[in-house]
Amino acid sequence: MQLNFKTIFLLIISWFLIVSCERPLETDLVLPKATPFVTFYLTDISDTLKLFFKKPISANDSGVIIDEYHNSLNITDALVLIDDGLVQRQMHYDSSYRSYLIDTNAMPLLKGREYHISVTQLDGTRMEASTVIPAYDVPSINYTALKQEKNYTYDFSFNDAIGEEKYYLLQFSQLMPENDGDTVEVVLKSFPILKQENQDYIDMVVNFTLPNHFYTPAKEEINYGLLIRPYVINKDMFLYFNSINSNLSATGNPYSSPSPVYSNFTGGRGIFGPVISK
């Protein structure tokens, strides 16, 4: 039987396929490692500033930290330094708060001032970030609410000055009872707001559903309702909260995929920025 060129070619391809199936697949794919991340809000709602430095247990370096944050280990032996351009202070780890702490008397928060943070691990790995506290104040916000069981619809509005881009945050929280009889405020949802330079009025509608484990008719009777708090933030914090909400919205949607949570750190992942109430 005479073999033509096409037949010979097909026989060679078939031989390569058979041989390749007999050997394990070799690949240069490197699995991602669990990367530490920092969460640090400069906030005036407490006399103590808290920096959280965590390493996810799961090996996921995609930047999606929503689930990683609660499934992670605290890194307790880092060198954490904060400065405001005038003085530099070290933040020390406190096991009671599971975070690095500094008193605002030692590092006052001032409008318009830039702050810098650096976090260095024992292996020499260093990550750092800078942020500026905006000079503007929290606006006086009006709202109307429509509530049906655990479903809320809010219509927010406020006036503002033309000529400056500003960033705000509306945060929903609820007071929850603890075993010792006290209550703790639990943040449920955060909505970042961008006011454009040419805007002097903001009107927005927010739909919010209270999670099942936070809602019972009994809690309604003892006035464990929603608390709404407005804050001043900057662009970094706006992008950070926006990215978190985008990931939460993508959950359960087969046509969406999680995107990296916004980070303003160099040398690592994390967020450093202001959340100011006054």
CATH number of residue 182's parent domain: 2.60.40
Same domain, 54 and 128: yes
Task: Kindly indicate the confidence band of residue 64, based on its pLDDT and cuts at 50, 70 and 90.
Answer: very low
Same domain, 147 and 117: no
Q: What is the pLDDT of residue 209?
A: 77
Amino acid at 131: T
Same domain, 121 and 153: no
Residue span of the structural domain in which 59 resides: 37-132
Same domain, 178 and 213: yes
Mark which of 81, 114, 132 sits at the end of a domain: 132
For residue 267, pLDDT over 90 is answered with: yes
pTM: 0.78
Q: Nearest-5° angle of CA 233, CA 83, CA 63?
A: 55
pLDDT digits (tens, 9 = 90+) for 69-102: 455 789 999 999 999 999 999 999 999 999 999 9
Count of domains observed in the chain: 2
Q: What is the pLDDT of residue 208?
A: 75
Q: What is the dihedral of CA 54, 187, 236, 64, to 10 degrees?
A: 50
Same domain, 55 and 121: yes
Could you tell me what percent of the chain has a pLDDT over 90? 45
Largest CA distance in the chain: 95
Contacts by 93-98, CB closer than 8 A, 24 or more apart = 97/48, 97/50, 98/52, 98/74
Q: What is the pLDDT of residue 168?
A: 96
Residue 219, domain member (yes or no) = yes
Same domain, 43 and 127: yes
Residue 266, domain member (yes or no) = no
pLDDT digits (tens, 9 = 90+) for 110-153: 999 999 999 999 999 999 999 999 999 998 888 888 877 778 78
pLDDT digits (tens, 9 = 90+) for 30-49: 434 567 899 999 999 889 99
Same domain, 124 and 147: no
